A and B are shown apart, each in its own frame.
Chain A
Amino acid sequence: MDILSPMEWTAVMLSLQVAGWAIAGTLPPAILAAWLLARLDFPGKVLLDGLFHLPLVMPPVVIGYVLLLLLGTRGPIGGFLYETFGIRLIFTSQGASVAAGVVSFPLMVRAIRLSIEAIDRGLEQAARTLGAGPFDRFFTITLPLMLPGVVSGAIIAFASSMGEFGATITFVSNIPGETQTLPLAIYSATQQPDGDAIAARLATISFTVSLVALMASEVIATRVRRMIGQ
């Protein structure tokens, strides 16, 4: 690939990697959170719902700052991770994944929750009378039927992770090859006197990735819906 310089190429690959890990890490808790909100009634549900959606409305810089406080090597969680397992999140690509995951978490929960709410509870009751216990029902009925939401939620969250800027730069800074994802690289390019061409190239890639992700989300969700007979 001659179109991109090695440094730009690195930023693209790093973005894909960061977003991939972000999705992999957020998917299980997002499914759990969506299920809790869609299916259970408990005191404090409204508060929990609000907390899950907070990253959607809070300035990303604030999220990055909160992550810095919590997950920094002297923070309550970050300190524990660092001292016990030697895991350091700040200034690393893993940290970038965490920032991207936190920001895209509400998008994923929303999509999954909608698909859970669309499931006919009667089907789970039927499974119940046929001898299926709670976990059995979840994995054979609920999970397959909410798959369209899971897939489209994951793809949208992936695309939004690729574009995460504020939380990432605040939490893990802008280190080429380690934490400099596409948006950060674009930002750096615009700060250089001769960076216009670089910024344009990277912006085009960013635009393409987002568009492809949106289209793929639709196509795959339709496929999955057909696969599960809807």
Chain B
Amino acid sequence: MLDVAITRRLGAFRLDARFTAGARGVTALFGPSGSGKTSIVAAIAGLTRPEGGHIRVDGVTFFDAAARVFLKPEKRRVGYVFQDARLFPHMTVRDNLLYGWRRVPAAERRIAPEPVVALLGLDHLVDRRPATLSGGEKQRVALGRALLAQPRLLLLDEPMASLDAQRKAEILPYIERLRDELAIPIILVSHAIEEVVRLADTLVLVKDGRVQASGPMEEVLGRLDLGPMFGAHALGSVVGVRVAAHDDADGLTALAFDGGELTVPRLDLAIGTAVRVRIPARDVVVALEPLPERISVHNRLRGRITEIAETADGFSEVRIRVGSADIVAHITRHAARRLELTVGQEAAALVKSVAFDRASLAFTAGAVTPPRPGSAAGAGP
């Protein structure tokens, strides 16, 4: 259990962040650059000292302004993976990995080096110097180094920000495996919605130094009132589905959930695999009965409108309840008026098969074992 409530003034910028997160799984701190995400994790690690509030992790008080408690960073056991890896250049990868490990009493070591090296695919790198590693390899070593220090909590500060798409794809599966195989809570700082959807269970939305919303990822992401905060690109819905069938002839895969079926381009996943898909709100078309027949859009999800929110800049966000899922559509206010959309009305969400956000395709915890990193994890043909 993580309980954070901190205030700090940095010039004109005021940080006032409060949130709690579960003892397991990934909590994402999501928000635009400069919103204070890194300041929050730096305070959790103890690298900066807030002016007020408290930070508690697993019943251990790291910081409490009222009680004048400030635990030194070296005593906190927080695994911090920095944006820029920060590997020690004068040491081999092996010595980097074991730096924290050697500083933990033998009796308190639960995570052993061999499985971590295997988990992160570092076997062939241990004798190398950091200068000879690629960006993705550096971040994997940094992850391993943090893990071997036997952390109570893992802080990942945009670990993929400096990586290109390919390297990102290389490291994401490893973080997924950490999440699923280790019982260490992870805090992930990110400004990329795909990353958040793919990895997070809990979402903490940060803007201008304040927590705007926090809660289960699907719930927060689907909140229409937060739309402007995500930006038009980020707003969307996340649906938990299972792979139902493959159509090899047409190169399609059918995904089933209690509200119907979605057809997407062929995914390289076994039938029955549970995944999360994100449907960007701007790619959803709202249609009323009778549904047009001669139209290329394949996916029709019939449901009922539960909410309509008008944005300041002339758009409407319409939430349609389909089975147990909420599909959000980003349409013009003009369109909403023309169709005379009202809450409670029956409507269908039309989604183009090509609209699926592949980067955010996520393997949900407890699903079939995710594919080994290196195979086509989360990517179709």
Please list the residues of chain A having a beta carbon within 8 angstroms of any beta carbon in chain B.
120, 122-123, 125-133, 136, 140-141, 144-145, 227-230
Within residues 134 to 170 of chain B, which ones have a CB less than 8 A from any CB in chain A?
145-146, 149
Q: Does B129 have its Cβ within 8 Å of any Cβ on chain A?
A: yes
Is the CB–CB distance between B89 and A228 below 8 Å? yes
Q: Which residues of A contact B75 (CB under 8 A)?
A: 131
Is the CB–CB distance between B90 and A122 below 8 Å? no
Q: Which residues of A contact B46 (CB under 8 A)?
A: 129
Task: Give Cα distance in the complex from A230 to B73, angstroms.
Answer: 27
Is the CB–CB distance between A122 and B76 below 8 Å? no
Is the CB–CB distance between B88 and A123 below 8 Å? yes
Please list the residues of chain B having a beta carbon within 8 angstroms of any beta carbon in chain A.
45-47, 72-80, 82, 84, 86, 88-91, 99-100, 103-104, 129-131, 145-146, 149
Given contacts A122-B82, A130-B99, contact A227 B90 (CB under 8 A): yes
Is the CB–CB distance between A230 and B80 below 8 Å? no
Chain A residues touching B, majority SS: helix
Is the CB–CB distance between A145 and B90 below 8 Å? yes
Q: In this complex, what residue of A is CB-closest to B76?
A: A129
A127–chain B nearest beta-carbon distance, Å: 7
Kindly list the 8 A-B residue pairs having the minimum CB-CB distance in the complex, ordered from nearest: A228-B90, A130-B100, A229-B89, A131-B103, A126-B86, A129-B80, A229-B129, A128-B73
Q: Which residues of B contact A123 (CB under 8 A)?
A: 86, 88-89
Is the CB–CB distance between B47 and A128 below 8 Å? yes
Chain B residues touching A, majority SS: loop
Q: Which residues of B contact A130 (CB under 8 A)?
A: 74, 99-100, 103, 145-146, 149
Is the CB–CB distance between A126 and B82 below 8 Å? yes
Task: Give Cα distance in the complex from A145 to B86, angstroms.
Answer: 13
Given contacts A122-B84, A125-B47, A229-B129, contact A131 B77 (CB under 8 A): yes
Task: Give Cα distance in the complex from A200 to B130, angstroms.
Answer: 51
Q: Which residues of B contact A129 (CB under 8 A)?
A: 45-47, 73-74, 76, 78-80, 146, 149
Is the CB–CB distance between B86 and A120 below 8 Å? yes
Q: Which residues of A contact B76 (CB under 8 A)?
A: 129
Q: Which residues of A contact B104 (CB under 8 A)?
A: 131
Q: In this complex, what residue of B is CB-closest to A228?
A: B90
Is the CB–CB distance between B73 and A229 below 8 Å? no
Query: Quick one: which of B74, B82, B86 contacts A132, CB cutoff 8 A?
Result: B74
B86–chain A nearest beta-carbon distance, Å: 4
Q: Which residues of B contact A126 (CB under 8 A)?
A: 80, 82, 86, 88
Q: Which residues of A contact B100 (CB under 8 A)?
A: 130-131
Task: Give Cα distance in the complex from A140 to B100, angstroms.
Answer: 12
Q: Which residues of A contact B72 (CB under 8 A)?
A: 128
Is the CB–CB distance between A127 and B45 below 8 Å? no
Query: Quick one: which of A132, A141, A144, A227 contacts B103, CB cutoff 8 A?
Result: A132
Task: Give Cα distance in the complex from A193 to B86, angstroms.
Answer: 65
A49–chain B nearest beta-carbon distance, Å: 28
Is the CB–CB distance between B149 and A127 below 8 Å? no
A5–chain B nearest beta-carbon distance, Å: 47
Q: Which residues of B contact A128 (CB under 8 A)?
A: 47, 72-74
Is the CB–CB distance between B99 and A127 below 8 Å? yes
Q: Which residues of A contact B145 (CB under 8 A)?
A: 130
A141–chain B nearest beta-carbon distance, Å: 6
- Give me 7 other A-B pairs in contact (C-beta within 8 A), A125-B86, A132-B99 excluded: A122-B86, A123-B89, A129-B76, A130-B149, A131-B74, A140-B99, A141-B88
The residue in B78, B103, B146 that gathers the most chain A C-beta atoms within 10 A of its C-beta is: B103
User: Would you give 17 A-B contacts (Cβ < 8 Å), ordered by A?
Assistant: A122-B82, A123-B86, A126-B86, A127-B88, A128-B47, A128-B74, A129-B45, A129-B46, A129-B79, A129-B80, A130-B103, A130-B146, A131-B75, A140-B99, A141-B88, A145-B89, A229-B91
Query: Quick one: which of B80, B103, B131 contacts A229, CB cutoff 8 A?
Result: B131
Is the CB–CB distance between B86 and A144 below 8 Å? no
Q: Which residues of A contact B47 (CB under 8 A)?
A: 125, 128-129
Q: In this complex, what residue of B is CB-closest to A134?
A: B74
Given contacts A127-B88, A132-B103, contact A229 B74 (CB under 8 A): no
